[in-house]
Amino acid sequence: MQILRAKLYELKLQEQQESVTAIRRSQVGTGARSEKIRTYNYKDNRATDHRLNQNFPLEKVLMGDLELILATCIAQDQQAQLVELAAATA
């Protein structure tokens, strides 16, 4: 019984480790260029947010004035939630 219990414990532990590993891999990107979030273009004085497909003034972004970016992110998230809600109710 002890051997059986030990083997079952090892199987359960291995399953848990595999699930944790899978979750970590899904959260961590590959670092590929296609996964970029924001690009800072000093020559053109702009910061491009690739999630929003919008440009923002570089100087304001570097000074920490992120209100415009945050407001745009929030608006986009709310729009996505509304579309999801509409699809769920239809």
Predicted local confidence at residue 60, as pLDDT = 94
Same-domain status, 60 and 88: yes
Phi-psi region of 6 (alpha: psi -120 to 50; beta: other; left: phi over 0): alpha
Same-domain status, 76 and 51: yes
Same-domain status, 17 and 52: no
Same-domain status, 42 and 19: no
Same-domain status, 22 and 40: no
Cβ-defined contacts of 60-67 (< 8 Å, 24+): none
* 38 against 27, higher pLDDT: 38
Three-class secondary structure of residue 29 per DSSP: coil
Same-domain status, 44 and 60: yes
What pTM was computed for the model?
0.58
Count of structural domains, the chain: 2
Mean pLDDT score across all residues of the chain: 92
Same-domain status, 76 and 89: yes
* Neighbouring C-beta atoms of residue 18, cutoff 10 Å: 10
Domain span including residue 22: 1-31
Same-domain status, 23 and 44: no
Check: CB of residue 41 under 8 Å from CB of residue 59: no
**pLDDT tens by residue, 38-50:** 999 999 999 999 9
Check: CB of residue 59 under 8 Å from CB of residue 71: no
